[in-house]
Structure 1
Amino acid sequence: MLTDKVRKGFLFLCFLVVIRIPFLAPYHTGSTREFVTKTEASNTISKIRPNGNHPGKWDPTNEIPKHFFKSLEKIARNLHYASVHARGLKTQVALKKATAEIKNLFGQLDISYRNITERGVTTPRTVCPEEYRGSKFGLNTSYEKGFERIPCNNSKPLSELVTVLILHRNSTESARDTVKDIQKIMPGVQTIIGLDRHLNKKEKSSIERDIPFIKCLGYTARTSEGQIWNDLLKKVRTEYVLIARDINIFDENVRLKRLIGVIEMVGVPIAGGATRDSLDGKWSLGCYQSGMRNYTLVYHEGYDESVQECVMCDCIDGPFVTRTKTLMAKMFDKKINGNGLFLDLFLRVGQENAVVCPDSMFHTRPKKVHASPLTWQSFVDKWKLYKLKFVPGPEILFKCNMKSKQKCTLKKNMLHHPCCLADIIVMLNHLTSTFETRVVDYQLCSGTLLGAVKLNSILPWDVDADIDYLRSNYSALNQFLPQLSFQEHSFQVMNIGKKDTTNFVLKSDISYWYVEIWAESRFTPTAFRTAMENYNGRSVKTMIRVNNVWVHAPFNPGLWARNRYGSEIYKHSQHWRTLGKNTSWGKYPMNDFLKCPEPGHHACLDNYKADGNLQFVDPVP
């Protein structure tokens, strides 16, 4: 239980935070700050009842800055959003405690936390609202009934509201049957259908004359799927459109008025339904959350939030209804073929801009998600991805073609592309395995060791790699120098402005990486001593993992790293050259990462905290 002093302190602290932090509460530029009394605040936020006797309540005579309430609302909404989407247990617990404090604060001000954080719902504009008639209403109909529409004056017939778009890969006769099914359940609704063959004017006229409310377009195998959908969309004249992807049977379960109503009530641009495979009967919710970071895109089936008996989604794996102007503003990418077409659309629409209402159901014959990288290539190239992961489903890795446009270029304040990172790992593996075969004593050093200690990898912002070797091994090393060069990687003496020729560098011709190899007269006393216990009579040197390669390290890597780099080494700081320093020996600032040159890109370093290593693994949507 919070004491009154603690509670008042928390209120005062919140006030200071709001006043002092510009992005939470901008200062007014005029000479007079805007204020609002508690009575005025009740008109814009919630009813605030003055109660001077309650400890911690504001004095009703006090004036409270308007921006205090606005910022407090923003804090509450963002905190609520984070609480809804938190995955980690520690994060959930911490956010639960923080939310409780904010609710406490709102209680002191008599503001409704729920009213501020709940999604707003309005009355539908073009369809009549629904009313639940109770759990026994649909008992005799196997619960095909339960919600009934309330009569209203603003309802429009579906024929004036929506157009159906279908990309049909079967026979013309099959297309006729599909349109007849549509007319049975939605009389007068226009259907625009794309047929997978060229149509001359006579054939097109014949089909449109024989089947009412149909328009058709022919296409060939050379026409991209995105281009076909765009051509169909351009012929739509209604406010809404149903993208009937993979549908092969239409019946009453599509419930288009329900989906249109939800779009209008909740304010989302897209609404879809569950799917039922018409061949094997398997039902699927088809709602996915997505997360893209560090050249990896993850889709996880499920939802975090619901509204109006629908679930919020980042991506829908099935047919959907949307406003025509929304889709016209985005259009399908005609350069993308195969599985990525709809994923690309939803990425551009934005997260949580779609709902699935599972009581609406579409009969489909969905295409399988192919694990072959070739079917995804155009999508992957556009979004610059290395890995695509579906949960449940396949994990797809894309090969690195270093000689193509994917060739590595170093970008400041951005993470290394996994293909570029793979090149330095290949270089390290080649060097260390050669050293071990030739019995040359070596160990990782500098930032390369620090990255291995912190991340079991190269630091994502590093610009080179470093290895020390014992100078006494120089003669042995000098005998096999030519063998250290390999395909597209050259080994040479390092030019450090001295006559010393015992330092070397291995450079890559296909990326920006190089490994510096430094001769040391001796390692620190503990660095290469044998383990205190010998295993089967042989000495054991410390090994550390860099991605999938185990290499030699100082005897106590953590101690070496701490003593080399000093305080707070497990927080992050960028490379000394990037920070404009002249040497690596000074103190490193543990601040946020520098501003990204491509704001919003999934590889921007400033997307990340300057602490922790789990954030650099596959994202959690």
Structure 2
Amino acid sequence: MLIEGKSAASSSSSPPRTSSASSNVAAASPEAPSCRPGPEALQKAYRRRLAKTLADLQRQISRLAGTGSLTRLRSPHSRPPGGGGRQVVPRAAGPRPGARPSRLLLERLVYLGRRYDHPYNQHGMETTNCTGVAPFRSVLTILLPARSWTPKALGFVVARIRALYDVPIVAIRAERPSEDQRDAGVRYLSAAANASDADLLNEAVKLVETPFVLLGESLAHFSNQSSLERLVRVLDDLDHVQAKYTMGYYHSKYECMYCDDLLTPFVTTTKLLRSLAFSAGLSGQALYRDWFAKVRGAGHLAVLCPDVMFFVGDHVNMTADDWLPVARRWALQKVTSFSGETFLFPCEDVGIKCTNIKAMTKWYLLPPCCLDIAMEDVRVLVDFAEREGLEYELQAGSVLGALKFGSYLPWDMDHDVYVECRHFKKWTQKFGAIVKGRNCTPKVKYKNVFLKIICPSFTMDIFCRDALSRKFLPKEYANTPTSILYGGRWTKVTANPGLFARNGIGLEVLKHVQHSSHILNAQKRRGTSAVPVGRPGTWLKCKNPNHHACLDSFPADGNLPFVFP
């Protein structure tokens, strides 16, 4: 990862203080140092290019390596109830009127050594006296989503914050507070009964006048274990960084973990909250899961600093009902939660339709529920063939899916089957009647040769041959057709499926590429003089690069990233 700015050490939690107070530790030199950043940062364009390259490389490595060795994100200092210091780092946060300059002026840090506060180590990374430090109340606002809090709980949290920081506070209340419930310096936003949490937060952000915000979701207490200067200092220096979501963390900087989705209070920039507004209509934890998904999609980064600890009212626990709004908004049929639970949603519940497979597979990986429909088509065919004693064998793209994935190719759009011509009439009549009952339409495209079955989702191309490929097997196996485990069921395929695919499809057949019809259309649009497309091991560029199912966001070789995403 390429990080802009000078190297800065982290600060452990410090004694109660206001934001403008300095540590009593003497500076390294009698003269107070300037807190302005140095000029050594790389040019913005170069940083972005390199950051994108590293992010893409990390994505490929993480997918190829699998998930077995990933570290579960847990603060070494955590205790229930509690959580690490969280931040969201914007990729780019240019200046706006009234906002921060390119770098804030915060106290520098000096590390006083391992033995300075041994054995408890509550101190050791301390601020120095320096000139030009901005008043902290002009740097950060605390936003408290207190709609469900009791007035007593809100008053307690505000009092604890006030004991340490003189900063603006915006609180969302279920009802307008009475005069005796109001706290000085706190702006209140009363919640309409029919307003969603997202709507209220977006309104509250409009009241913020500082460049940074602490969003105190579930905050139940506040103490000197929650160093806001620490979070702002790291957030301010980790600008212009992009990262790809992973469980746990792969990289760190300033003793903070690059991560993605955060479950407790976090600090971010006001500009980011305004540019990536909370999605209207969402409430509860779904609101934050959706927002962090948008943060990822926009190329931003989240950071967790485990030495900054917040005290929260309860651990985040999301049920299937909690996840459903997120799954519906992002078209997710399967969600593996941070708790380890897996939630599956029917296609119709999350707005996925498997009715235009050709358009879908041009850019995107097929959703699991559409793959289930494809596998059910094969099951009906195999059941019929076994019941009637008919021979068949998968061929073309169906064989390729069997070889690569042991199931339907997740960017294919049809089924390819060879049958014996002497039984073609049974396939057209008996099997045709069965598929009609499944809302499919059988059509004989070439008499006694080609039966095409058009279903609401997929099509099936059934060609007849005078003899199937088992004739090429040794005579001892002539009556034992080759079978392959296909979607958990032994299914007949061409005699040597690997040889059939290699010879029939060509070089590097195990590498991936979209369906041949998409490649031909792309080549026609580009013209004969354009650079060729559709080489094995390459995907067509996705029309919606931020979509999580884009084929070109997956490796174009190997099956593990698809089987174990």
TM-score where L is the length of structure 2:
0.74
Q: Is 2:466 the counterpart of 1:521?
A: yes
Which is greater in Rg? 1
3-state SS, counterpart of residue 173 of structure 1: helix
Distance 1:369 1:173, change over 3 A: closer
Say yes or no: does 1:556 pair with 2:493: no
Instruction: Name the counterpart of 2:236.
Output: 264
- The answer as to 2:117 corresponding to 1:138 is yes
Judging changes above 3 Å, is the alpha-carbon distance between structure 1 residues 264 and 474 closer, same or farther for their aligned structure 2 residues?
closer
Distance 1:71 1:178 in 2: 44
Per-residue Cα deviation, 1:529-567 (whole angstroms, up to 9, x for no partner): 78759xxxxx75432233344321123221222233343
| 1:326 partnered with 2:272 | yes
Give yes or no for the alignment of 1:433 onto 2:388: no
Q: CA deviation at 1:431?
A: 1.3
* Deviation at residue 479 of structure 1 after TM alignment: 6.2
Q: Does 1:162 align with 2:140?
A: yes
Q: 1:312 to 1:573 in 2, by over 3 A?
A: closer
Structure 1 pair 310–526 and aligned structure 2 pair: CA distance change class (3 A)? same
Q: Does 1:207 align with 2:154?
A: no
Shift in alpha-carbon separation, 1:553–1:175, aligned structure 2, 3 A: same
The residue type paired with residue 430 of structure 1 is: V
Q: Contact conserved, 1:492 with 1:505, CA < 8 A, in 2?
A: yes
Q: What pairs up with 1:320-399 in 2 under 5 angstroms?
A: 320-350=266-296, 351=299, 353-372=301-320, 374-390=321-337, 393-399=340-346
Deviations 1:304-337 (A, max 9, x none): 2222222222232221112222222222112333
User: Tell me, what secondary structure is at the counterpart of 1:136?
Assistant: coil
1:334 partner SS: coil
Q: How does 1:45-444 map to 2 (within 5 A)?
A: 78=53, 82=57, 86-87=61-62, 125-139=104-118, 142-168=120-146, 169-186=148-165, 188-195=166-173, 197-199=174-176, 203-208=177-182, 211-220=183-192, 222-267=194-239, 291=245, 300=247, 302-350=248-296, 351=299, 353-372=301-320, 374-390=321-337, 393-401=340-348, 406-409=353-356, 410-411=358-359, 412-444=362-394
Amino acid at match of 1:598: N
Counterparts of 1:395 and 1:144 in 2: how far apart (Å)? Answer: 39
| Residues 339 and 531 (structure 1), Cα distance of their counterparts in 2 relative to 1, 3 Å cut | farther
CA distance in 2, matches of 1:343, 1:73: 26
Structure 2: gaps of 5 or more residues: 1-38, 67-100, 522-533
Structure 2: distance between partners of 1:322 and 1:447: 48
Distance 1:261 1:79, change over 3 A: closer
| AA of the residue aligned to 1:524 | S
Structure 2 CA distance for aligned equivalents of residues 562 and 519 of structure 1: 22
- Between 358-367 and 523-532, report the one with greater CA deviation: 523-532
Aligned partner of 1:493 among 443, 453, 461: 443
After TM superposition, give the deviation of residue 364 of structure 1 in Å: 1.0
SS of structure 1 residue aligned to 2:516: coil
1:134, distance to aligned residue in structure 2 (A) = 0.9
**Quick one: distance in 2 between partners of 1:72 and 1:233?**
30
- Whether the 8 Å contact between 2:544 and 2:550 is mirrored in structure 1 is yes
- Give deviations 1:105-149, integer Å, cap 9, x for gaps: xxxxxxxxxxxxxxxxx9973321111111111126x21111111
Residues 269 and 326 in structure 1, CA contact (< 8 A), matched pair in contact too: no
| d(CA) in 2 for partners of 1:80, 1:575 | 28
Letter paired with 2:482: T
Which amino acid is 2:136 matched to?
A: L
Q: What's the CA shift for 1:465? A: 0.9
RMSD: 3.8
Cα deviations by residue, 1:53-93 (Å, 9 ceiling, x for unpaired) = xxxxxxxxxxxxxxxxx9999679946984798447889xx
Alignment match, 1:274: none
2:510 pairs with one of 555, 558, 570: 570
Query: Which residue number in structure 2 is paired with residue 469 of structure 1?
Result: 419
Compared CA separation, residues 433 and 375, structure 1 to 2 (3 A): same
Measured in 2, the distance between the counterparts of 1:522 and 1:414 equals 37
Aligned 8 A contact 2:64 2:561 in 1: no
Which residue is 1:542 aligned to?
482
Task: Report the secondary structure of 1:253's partner residue.
Answer: coil
Secondary structure of the corresponding residue to residue 223 of structure 1: coil
Distance in 2 of aligned mates of 1:403 and 1:370: 17
Q: Which amino acid aligns with 1:576?
A: S
Seen in structure 2, the aligned counterparts of structure 1 residues 390 and 322 have a Cα distance that, compared at 3 Å, is same
Q: Which residue of 1 aligns with 2:558?
A: 612
Verify the 8 A CA contact 1:248 1:363 in the aligned structure 2.
Answer: yes
User: Are 2:332 and 2:350, in contact at CA under 8 Å, matched by a contact in 1?
Assistant: no
Shift of 1:429: 1.1
Q: In 2, Cα distance between the equivalents of 1:388 and 1:494?
A: 42
Classify 1:558/1:407 alpha carbon distance in 2 versus 1 (closer, same or farther; 3 Å).
closer
Distance 1:422 1:241 in 2: 45
1:23 — aligned with what? none
How far apart in 1 are the matches of 2:40 and 2:142? 42
Q: Residues 443 and 527 (structure 1 numbering): CA distance in 2 closer, same or farther, change over 3 Å?
A: farther
CA contact (8 A) 1:338 1:376 kept: no
Please list, as runs of the form range in 1=range in 2, the aligned pairs for 1:452-467 lying within 5 A after superposition: 452-467=402-417
**Preserved contact between residue 153 and residue 220 of structure 2 (Cα < 8 Å):** no
Whole-angstrom distance in 1 between the partners of 2:162 and 2:228: 13
The verdict on how the C-alpha distance between 1:402 and 1:333 changes in structure 2, with shifts beyond 3 A counting, is closer
The alpha-carbon distance between structure 1 residues 443 and 525, as it changes in their structure 2 partners (threshold 3 A), is: closer
Contact between 1:471 and 1:519, CA under 8 Å: does it hold in 2?
A: yes
1:179-200 deviations in Å (ceiling 9; x for gaps):
11221222x33322222x343x
Classify 1:45/1:339 alpha carbon distance in 2 versus 1 (closer, same or farther; 3 Å): closer
Aligned CA distance change for structure 1 residues 268 and 355 (closer, same or farther; 3 Å): farther
Partner secondary structure for residue 189 of structure 2: strand
- Matched residues, number: 475
SS class of match (1:485): helix
Distance 1:457 1:542, change over 3 A: same
* Aligned mates of 1:267, 1:574 — CA distance in 2: 37
**Aligned counterpart, 2:16:** none
> TM-score normalized by structure 1?
0.67
Cα-to-partner distance string for 1:392-434 (whole Å, 9 max, x where unaligned): 6222222112996634323234333333332221111111112
